[in-house]
């Protein structure tokens, strides 16, 4: 008769395989830049495996069963990889045709009081229903002047796109007073303009 203590112990989680260098052995489900290609067995630090690769679905535990499955389905995996690359290239082309506008406070010479960096670009892209992370925005340095910039966006699989970023002065809510003769013209122009959302 089994003892009661066996029923009270929590179930064991699947052990992560150790590599020859003491890291965690994982099988890549998708290619990961600077790490390896789809179907390869890689050895990574535990934190990288547990906090990024496994939760993002980029890798799985490198069991003998998984390795056999990869060999068996290598052609299907290659077709999936080719499809993913094609969709990234399409996204790169679409992004290359876009431009975003970021308002920033600047002095009369066009120098920004602060700077525009990757977080501001990501936020502006989000308004255009494009979701990226700040580490995908490749800047040589923060943007510190008004103007048009070409910014590289890293999409993955060594595919990058160029995005046009307009940095323009912040529009103030209070317009300067105009003479009475100009107010009627301004009022008719305001009627013609669509309201800001």
Per the CB < 8 A criterion, the answer to whether 163 and 120 are in contact is no
Domain end (from 44, 72, 100): 72
Structural domain of residue 61, as residue ranges? 15-72
Ordered per-residue pLDDT tens for the chain, 197 residues? 444 444 444 334 455 656 566 688 888 888 888 888 877 888 899 899 899 999 988 888 888 887 777 777 777 777 888 888 898 899 999 999 989 999 999 999 999 999 999 999 999 999 888 888 898 999 988 899 999 999 999 988 788 899 999 999 987 654 444 444 444 444 333 333 333 43
Residue 36 lies in a domain: yes
Helix/strand/coil percentages in the chain, nearest 5:
35, 25, 35
103 and 150 in a single domain? The answer is yes
Residue 78 lies in a domain: no
Domain CATH number, residue 106: 3.10.430.100
């Amino acid at each position: 008769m089994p003892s009661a203590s066996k029923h009270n112990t929590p179930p064991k989680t699947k052990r992560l395989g150790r590599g020859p260098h003491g890291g965690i052995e994982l099988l890549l489900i998708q290619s990961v830049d600077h790490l390896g290609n789809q179907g390869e067995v890689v050895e990574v630090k535990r934190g990288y495996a547990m906090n990024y690769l496994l939760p993002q679905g980029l890798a799985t535990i490198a069991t003998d069963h998984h390795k056999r499955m990869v060999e068996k389905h290598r052609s299907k995996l290659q077709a999936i990889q080719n499809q993913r690359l094609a969709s990234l290239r399409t996204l790169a082309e679409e992004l290359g045709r876009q431009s975003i506008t970021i308002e920033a406070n600047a002095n009369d010479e066009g120098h920004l009081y602060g700077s525009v960096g990757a977080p501001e670009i990501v936020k502006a892209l989000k308004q255009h229903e494009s979701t990226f992370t700040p580490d995908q925005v490749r800047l040589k340095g923060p943007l510190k002047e008004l103007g048009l910039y070409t910014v590289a966006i890293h999409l993955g699989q060594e595919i990058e796109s160029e995005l046009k970023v307009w940095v323009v002065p912040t529009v103030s809510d209070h317009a300067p007073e105009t003479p009475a003769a100009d107010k009627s013209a301004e009022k008719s122009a305001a009627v013609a303009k669509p309201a800001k959302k």
